[in-house]
A and B are shown apart, each in its own frame.
Chain A
Amino acid sequence: AQKVTQAQTEISVVEKEDVTLDCVYETRDTTYYLFWYKQPPSGELVFLIRRNSFDEQNEISGRYSWNFQKSTSSFNFTITASQVVDSAVYFCALSEAGDAGNMLTFGGGTRLMVKP
């Protein structure tokens, strides 16, 4: 069965610090998809990134970067020079391509608080 673990339940940083959110996943499929979503205080789920299991290239988008390592089953998310607007709950999620691929399995989320 698929599983996603976000060990950090809450992180607090001061503005302009870099912060890394950890995500470890478990799956028996060789083809799967990993996601990060942001949930700001307003409550909606905002899509950040999708990565398939065959693409281990790291990705950078502005202040955001993602490090995918199949060897350690991790898909970590780094925010560089954090800002107060980054304060939110961040969810890592997994979707398998096989028969169980009808759904996203979410981690428990990491609440990031960025203080001015």
Chain B
Amino acid sequence: DSGVTQTPKHLITATGQRVTLRCSPRSGDLSVYWYQQSLDQGLQFLIHYYNGEERAKGNILERFSAQQFPDLHSELNLSSLELGDSALYFCASSLQSRGRDGYTFGSGTRLTVV
């Protein structure tokens, strides 16, 4: 157990729907990062939050949004889902906002859009 908790583990939904993925970071970690792993794009950075504030955005679609709450858990909201959004979504956490202390990944949420 890495200490980073992602729920749900699996999600199957229809096109056009909206889903929310949840991430609880490792105890003490202030940063949460979201990554998408798809067959054609590989592992891609989506967004980074540090202590409730957005710090960096990567290749995140406008249909996707995220936030980090005061208790430091984070949610990734995916709306108007398309077949191409099917992927494994990872959350990672770290103590600081840089890479020097490493990143701990959750086990991922596998999203299937049908």
Q: Which A residues form the contact surface with B (CB < 8 A)?
A: 32-33, 35, 37, 43-45, 47, 50, 52, 91, 95-97, 100-106, 108-109
A44-B43 Cα distance, complex, nearest whole Å? 12
The verdict on A35 contacting B90 (CB below 8 Å), with A43-B107, A109-B42 known, is no
Interface flag for B8 (CB, 8 Å): no
Tell me the bound Cα distance from A35 to B94 in angstroms. 14
Q: Is the CB of A103 within 8 A of B100?
A: no
8 other contacts beyond A32-B99, A33-B99, A44-B2, with CB at 8 A cut-off? A37-B105, A44-B107, A95-B98, A102-B50, A103-B33, A104-B33, A104-B99, A108-B42
Q: Interface residues of B: mostly helix, strand, loop or mixed? A: strand
Tell me whether B102 and A97 are in contact (CB under 8 A): no
Tell whether A103 pairs with B58 under 8 Å between CB atoms, given A43-B107, A43-B108, A108-B42.
yes
Mask for B70-104, Cβ within 8 A of A = 1, else 0?
Answer: 00000000000000000010101000011110111
0/1 string, B42-67, CB within 8 A of A gives 1: 11110010100001101000000000
Determine if B22 is an interface residue (Cβ-Cβ < 8 Å). no
Given A103-B33, A103-B56, A105-B45: A43 in contact with B110 (beta carbons within 8 A): yes
Contact A47 B100, CB 8 Å, known A103-B45, A104-B45: no
Query: Which range holds the interface residue count of chain B?
Result: 20 to 34
Q: Which of A33, A108, A109 has the most CB of B within 10 A?
A: A33
Question: How far is A44 from B2 in the complex, measured between Cα atoms in Å?
Answer: 10
B residues adjacent to A (C-beta < 8 A): 2, 33, 35, 42-45, 48, 50, 55-56, 58, 88, 90, 92, 97-100, 102-108, 110
Contacts of B110 in A (CB 8 A): 43
Q: Complex formed: what's the CA distance from A91 to B43 in Å?
A: 9
Chain A residues with Cβ under 8 A from B97's Cβ?
Answer: 101-102
- How many whole Å from B1's CB to the nearest CB in chain A? 10
Chain A residues with CB under 8 A of B106 = 44
Q: Which of A44, A45, A100, A108 is the most central at the interface, judged by chain B CB atoms within 10 Å of its CB?
A: A45
In the complex, residue of chain A having the shortest beta-carbon distance to the beta carbon of B58? A103
